[in-house]
Amino acid sequence: MPELPEAETVAHQLREKVRGAVILNSWIGRDDIVREGLSSLAWYRGARLVTASRLGKSVVLHAEKDSETRFLIFELGMTGLLFFEAPDSTYLKHIHVALTLSGSVPSLYYWNPRRFGRVYLLDQTGLERFAARRFGHDPLEVTWTEFRDLVGSRRGRLKALLMHQQVIAGIGNIYANEILYRSRLHPDRIAGKLPTRTVRRLFDTMRAVLNEAIIDGGSSVRDFLAPDGTRGEYRKRHLVYNKAGLPCPVCGHTIRRLMAERSSFVCLSCQPPGKRLRRSGAGANGEKTPSREKNLP
């Protein structure tokens, strides 16, 4: 569930709390949680954490030792979290990585019950290869011209494009729903057929929604907690996500749920379908068919 705003919240707290700390020791609960770089684990002992950053939905710790910088990348996946201390004993079973640190925060834990995310220990070259392989444009850093050209070149569904991590990195189902609703765009609209003014509205809305969510600490819809155990408050500002059957806050029509690769929540009055894909075929992330509408009570 963690998406860009949640990952940015985690990175911000790490910068605030553990920057300058030295890694005194490390513990790996199971070797397969480290997808790459396990043999370099010993290097990190004695390294100083100099900052933290974000790549898409992943969080990166920057460690420095002997004038060299290496990186610990934590994929949050669907359920991955980083904690300064476990919220309660039920979390202990699914802690897979633990770092013992100097300073005011003695530990950092990587928790991931479903293990969809992994950890990578990489040098600079490895990080560059990892980023190039896994992540497209960052939605908060992509320029208007880049975004316009990117959308204009795509023939698939708009929502699938927003969620395609190798094209636009960091947006998942929650924020795709909110962005499209506030942009007044149906998720099945064909990206490359949107007028330029509509693409500009989408661009501005995308940045506004993500920045607002970051300010609110992300959305704690299911499991998300920040490293200090706090919950994201942006869930209280969701307009359509998971609100099927409720009235649209703009026009009063019923919000509906569309079923495709992920659930979409739309107001068909504010987000008219427009022209849909006419035949089965691969969209922006390989989906085969347009979504079908499903009414919920």
pLDDT at site 274: 75
Given 134, 164, 187, the domain boundary residue is: 134
Do 178 and 285 share a structural domain? Answer: yes
Q: 212-260, pLDDT tens digit by residue?
A: 999 999 998 878 999 999 999 999 999 999 999 999 999 999 999 997 6
2 has catalytic annotation: yes
For residue 86, what is the domain's CATH number? Answer: 3.20.190.10
Do 154 and 130 share a structural domain? Answer: no
Half-sphere exposure of 125 (CA within 13 A, CB side): 1
pLDDT at site 223: 80
Q: Is residue 123 part of a domain?
A: yes
Per-position pLDDT tens, the chain of length 297: 799 999 999 999 999 999 999 999 999 998 999 999 999 999 999 999 999 999 999 999 999 999 999 999 999 988 889 999 988 888 888 899 999 999 899 999 999 987 677 999 999 999 999 999 999 999 999 999 999 999 999 999 999 999 999 999 999 999 999 999 999 999 999 999 999 999 999 999 999 999 999 999 999 887 899 999 999 999 999 999 999 999 999 999 999 999 765 799 999 999 999 754 443 333 434 443 334 333 322
Residue of 2, 5, 139, 227 marked active site: 2
Domain count, the chain: 2
Q: Is residue 139 part of a domain?
A: no
Given 111, 134, 157, the domain boundary residue is: 134
Cα(280)–Cα(283) distance, integer angstroms: 9
Residue of 5, 17, 54, 57 marked active site: 57
Cα(174)–Cα(4) distance, integer angstroms: 10
Do 171 and 130 share a structural domain? Answer: no
Do 108 and 191 share a structural domain? Answer: no
Q: What is the pTM of this model?
A: 0.89
For residue 268, what is the domain's CATH number? Answer: 1.10.8.50
Query: What 3-state DSSP class applies to 171?
Result: coil
Which domain range does residue 194 map to?
144-294
Q: Is residue 188 part of a domain?
A: yes
287 has catalytic annotation: no
Do 175 and 87 share a structural domain? Answer: no
Do 204 and 270 share a structural domain? Answer: yes
pLDDT at site 261: 57
Do 129 and 81 share a structural domain? Answer: yes
Q: 106-121, pLDDT tens digit by residue?
A: 999 999 987 677 999 9
Report residue 191: phi and psi, to 5°. -55, -50
262 has catalytic annotation: yes
> DSSP states of 29-49 as a string?
S-GGGEEE-GGGGGGGTTPEE
Cα(293)–Cα(291) distance, integer angstroms: 7
Residue of 115, 193, 207, 262 marked active site: 262
Given 99, 134, 169, the domain boundary residue is: 134
pLDDT at site 296: 27
For residues 170 and 134, the answer to whether their CB atoms sit within 8 Å is: no
Do 227 and 163 share a structural domain? Answer: yes
Do 24 and 87 share a structural domain? Answer: yes
